[in-house]
Structure 1
Amino acid sequence: MKTRLIAEVKIKTDAKASDALAQLLMMGWLPTSYVPPEEIRRLRELVRLREYLVYERTKFKNKVHAALMREGIRGRKGIFAKKRREFLNELEIDEVNRCLSVIDVLDRQINEISAMIRKIAGES
């Protein structure tokens, strides 16, 4: 790669480097960089957003587990399944109820974004 020569030169100045880059550009020797199409960029953005929302949901689920442990309730598998959610709601622990509300909102958003991702990926 021709640009490596600029990086390896011992004596560098911005003026010399810019002159060298200008010459490489005029000769067509500068490599082009890949810019994905808008559809791919949008898909990546949605995947990143979904990943973030899942991360946040996990934090709130961990808060629920911690609150249950403080109340002496341990070892419940699948605590967020529908049947177990009824149990959680009956406990009437404020912190748990607040976290469950946030988890519900995050679940809806994650499902919406997942559907958008499937739609975009299916169109590709």
Structure 2
Amino acid sequence: MKTRLIAEVKIKTDAKASDALAQLLMMGWLPTSYVPPEEIRRLRELVRLREYLVYERTKFKNKVHAALMREGIRGRKGIFAKKRREFLNELEIDEVNRCLSVIDVLDRQINEISALIRKIAGES
């Protein structure tokens, strides 16, 4: 494109670059960039938020696994399933209970955001 010429010039100054860009703009040769509509931006923001919350939930689940290992409890698969959660609650390990409380909050938020994403995506 024409803007590549600016990048390839050996002597570059802000003044020369701005003059060149101004000329390209006046001639209509500057490429346009895509700006997604508000709805798409909102959907992307929700997806990023959901991804972050899932990442945070994973961190707390890993903390639970680490606390269990310190207590000598190993090899439990599916420990966060409903039936296994009862087992975790019965252990009465403070660190595990704190992490489980945070995981519960994150689960609710993730579910709410997932439903909102599905609703918005379904409307599109």
TM-score by length of 2: 0.98
Deviations 1:17-62 (A, max 9, x none): 1111111001100000000000000000000000000000000000
CA drift at 1:15: 1.5
Two-structure CA RMSD over aligned residues (Å):
0.6
Deviation at 1:90, TM superposition (A): 0.4
Structure 2, gaps ≥5 residues long:
none
- Give the Cα separation in 1 of the matches to 2:17 and 2:55: 44
* In structure 1, distance between residues paired with 2:116 and 2:3: 41
Alpha-carbon distance, 1:88 to partner: 0.4
Q: In structure 1, what is the Cα distance between the partners aligned to 2:58 and 2:13?
A: 50
1:61 has 2:61 as partner: yes
Q: Percent of counterpart pairs with the same letter?
A: 99
Instruction: Quote how far apart the aligned CAs of 1:16 are.
Output: 1.4
Mapped to 2, the partners of 1:89 and 1:13 lie a distance apart of 66
Show structure 1 runs of 5+ residues with no match: none
Query: Where does residue 108 of structure 2 map in the other structure?
Result: 108
SS at match of 1:32: coil
Residue by residue, what CA displacement relative to the aligned partner does 1:48-106 show, whole Å, maximum 9, x if unpaired? 00000000000000000011111111111100000000000000000000000000000
Distance in 1 (CA, whole Å) between partners of 2:87 and 2:8 is: 67
Aligned length: 124
Structure 2: distance between partners of 1:9 and 1:91: 69
Shift of 1:11: 1.3
Q: CA deviation at 1:14?
A: 1.6
CA distance in 2, matches of 1:74, 1:20: 66
